[in-house]
Amino acid sequence: MNDAQPLLQVSGAGHAYGDRSASRWGCRDVDLDLWPGEVLAVVGESGSGKTTLLGTLSQRLSLTEGSVRYQLADGTMADLSELSEAAVRRLWRTEWGFVHQNPADGLRMHVSAGGNVGEPLMATGWRHYGRIRAAAAEWLQRVEIPVDRIDDAPVTFSGGMRQRLQIARNLVISPRLVFMDEPTSGLDVSVQARLLDLIRSLVAELGLAMIIVTHDLGVARLISHRTLVMKDGRVIESGLTDRVLDDPQAAYTQLLVSSILQG
Partner 1 sequence: MIPAVTDACETQPILAVSGVEKTFTMHLQGGQRLPVLHELAFEVHAGECVALGGASGAGKSSVLKMAYGNYAVNRGSIAVRGPGGVVDIAAAGPRQVLAARRHTVGYVSQFLHCVPRVAALQIVAEPLLERGVPAAEARDRAAELLTRLAIPERLWALPPATFSGGEQQRVNVARGFVTELPLLLLDEPTASLDVRNREVVTGLIHDKRARGTAILGIFHDAEVREAVADRVVQVEAFAAATGADVAHAAAGRTGAAGTTGAAA
**Which of these ranges, 77-85, 152-160, 164-172, 247-255, lies near partner 1 under the rule CB under 8 A?**
247-255
Adjacent-strand bridge partners of 69: 9, 79
**3-class secondary structure for 170-234?**
HHCCCCCEEEEECCCCCCCHHHHHHHHHHHHHHHHHHCCEEEEEECCHHHHHHHCCEEEEEECCE
Closest CA to 200 of 247, 167, 158: 167
**Which of these ranges, 14-22, 52-60, 105-113, 188-196, lies near partner 1 under the rule CB under 8 A?**
188-196
The smaller minimum CB distance to partner 1, of residues 9 and 116, is found at 9
Q: How far apart are CA 173 and CA 95, in angstroms?
A: 7
Q: Is 44 in the site for partner 1 (CB under 8 A)?
A: no
Q: How far apart are CA 149 and CA 127, in angstroms?
A: 22
Least CB distance from residue 187 to partner 1, whole Å?
14
Q: Is 239 in the site for partner 1 (CB under 8 A)?
A: yes
Q: Is 200 in the site for partner 1 (CB under 8 A)?
A: yes
Residues 202-231, interacting with partner 1 (CB under 8 A): 204, 222, 225-226
Determine phi and psi for 215, rounding to 5 degrees. -95, -5
Q: Which of 103, 120, 154, 248 binds partner 1 (CB under 8 A)?
A: 248
Site of interaction with partner 1 (CB under 8 A): 35, 193-194, 196-197, 200, 204, 222, 225-226, 236-240, 242-243, 245-251, 253-255, 257-258, 261
